[in-house]
Chains A and B, each alone.
Chain A
Amino acid sequence: MKARVLIFSIIATALFTISCSRKPTGVTKADIKTFDIREQLKTASYSYKLVDTVLNHTAYATLSATVQWPEKMGDNNIKPLQDTLLKAVSKRNFNNIDEAMVNFVTSYKDMYSDDEQKSLSVKATPVDSVPLSSESNFSYDYNVTARISVLNEEYVTYQVVYYWFMGGAHGSTMVNPFTYDFKRAAVITYEDLFKPDSDKALVELISKSLQNQYGANSEEELARAGFMPDDFYASHAISLDENGNVVFHYDQYAISAYYLGRIDVALPTYDLESLLTPEGKKILKLQ
């Protein structure tokens, strides 16, 4: 009977070994990589009643800040990313994003230019909300929004958008896009990617890409569509999109008429290879 037990045990062990060592074919769960992300969506907003005692003028202003604040992105060091966001939200030095945001929404004087500030005789009183039909009909906005546009295991791209409306036909928008490389623990800059003498060749590629994008066959046709080809330049406001293309960003008016809005030109990495620094080739995985 002992022998039967032994034989049975051997068979069972063999069964166990075979069933566990058989390599599954095709894709399995083990092929999937996972990393944890923890963020806080932070919002702060202040509204003010602004009374100019000299001009006897009343207006309302709302300042707001929204930040998708990264707390954990896999095991990557994201301190430099957090520092970059801090600087994007506030001109002054803060160690804490909450303080930076509160500073932004309470700095209503930053809405005005330096010259305007000198002549300001404005008394600001915080209010809970802006009346829908205010007695003055003047309602100003100033806000900053930092949001993730691309996130993968290699990098995260943020769009920091500043918007202000101080009266007039329309508000203004300025965008600061950037990509943070997890491996290097650093923001990818124009200088990281491109050789110093690349501007001229980049402008040609950007112009060609815009022609494709807007169905134009020449720079003259681009001009008729609202672009200013004489003002074309290689923007240093760059980021990576989800396909790894390098995106050159232009704010309103920078190279085109206002109605065309913000312009983003995405160039595939294989078009850029000859213009890249050795470091740039590594970053863009061409080496």
Chain B
Amino acid sequence: MKYSFMIITLVVMSLIVVSCNQKSSDTVVVSESAEEDTIVANPEVDNFNIKQQFKSLSQLYRVKAGDNDTPVYVAFDANIQWPLKYGKYNVEALQDTIIGAILQGKTQNINGIDEALVAWANNFSRVCKGVTSPDAMELVGENNLIKEQHPYGSDKGYLTKITAKITEINDQTVTYHVSQVLTEPDQMTWSSSAMFTYDIDQGRVLTYDDLLLPDAKLGVLPYLQSALQSLYYADDEKQLKDMGIFVDQLFLSKEVFITDGQLVFHYQAGSIGVVKLGEINVPIAPFAIEEYLTPEAKKLLLE
């Protein structure tokens, strides 16, 4: 009879485990469909397969904030272009980088993009002051309720939005833009963003040190100011200052990416110009700064 107990216990426990263990939507099997196999490629056209998923989360919650009886509303809006496979290459390092950008480095115990998005949404301490427990949340519906009435959040609501999108892709590199915006009830807006280029063949994100030599810091700075003048149609330093650029505080950003064959320096809003200018991307033609480029950068940008 002891055995019957044990057997029942084991069966029931495994039932619980199996039934409650929701199948992770993060586990994706990339199958090569029959349809793909039968495509007859034109030999004059090069094909590079891109497999990805679009992930979205769009909800409005009513939240009790501490002892305050007046609920506040929190609208979440996430739109993620999630890479699965580029050509014959796996993209795990790119996936990890996107998750790192979404969670701003706090990726401990996070497995996959779905877990990352859940963690992002449930991280109230960043979103809504005084609300730290997800137990206080009550789902109201999809956030178009709040969007329709108040496109940028209501006087009682927070709108937090994250987007990860490809800005450029070719068979060598892919450039991603991950941006986060939080609009508070008083319409105050906070934003941060990351832009990076991933080398598909090498399977890694290209960093500042991969692209620029150590002495680039001072050497490239004059080109940066000149590129800023072109970007803002400014004739001289004074005009650039008048437009809100902190000319005296210019520095070479460590955040670099590649777009349209140019090396682009990425600056967060407020770092080299007034906040209303938003994030600033300064493109510099690679041939102009050739002497400061690493051999890897020269190969990618100049050959």
Interface residues of A (CB under 8 A from B): 1, 4-5, 8-9, 12-13, 15-16, 19-20, 25-44, 66, 68, 74, 96, 98-99, 101-102, 105, 147-148, 150-153, 215, 225-226, 242, 259-260, 268-270, 285-286
Contact = CB atoms under 8 A, between A and B. Distances in A.
B8 A5 contact: yes
Contact of A27 (B8, B9, B48, B76): B76
B50 A41 contact: yes
B171 interface: yes
A31 to B, nearest CB: 6
Interface in B108-123: 114-115, 117-118, 121-122
Interface of B: 1, 4-5, 8-9, 12-13, 15-16, 19-20, 22, 24-25, 41-42, 44-59, 76, 78-79, 81, 114-115, 117-118, 121-122, 134-135, 137, 144, 147-148, 151, 163, 165-166, 168-171, 233, 243
Contact of B114 (A8, A19, A32): A32
A151 B54 contact: yes
Contacts of A36: 51, 53
A230 B13 CA distance: 77
A34 B24 CA distance: 12
Contacts of A215: 243
Contact of A35 (B12, B19, B54, B165): B54
B12 A32 contact: no
A17 to B, nearest CB: 10
Contact of B45 (A13, A34, A43): A43
B56 A153 contact: yes
A28 B48 CA distance: 34
A8 B9 contact: yes
Contact of B47 (A5, A40, A99): A40
Contacts of B117: 27, 32
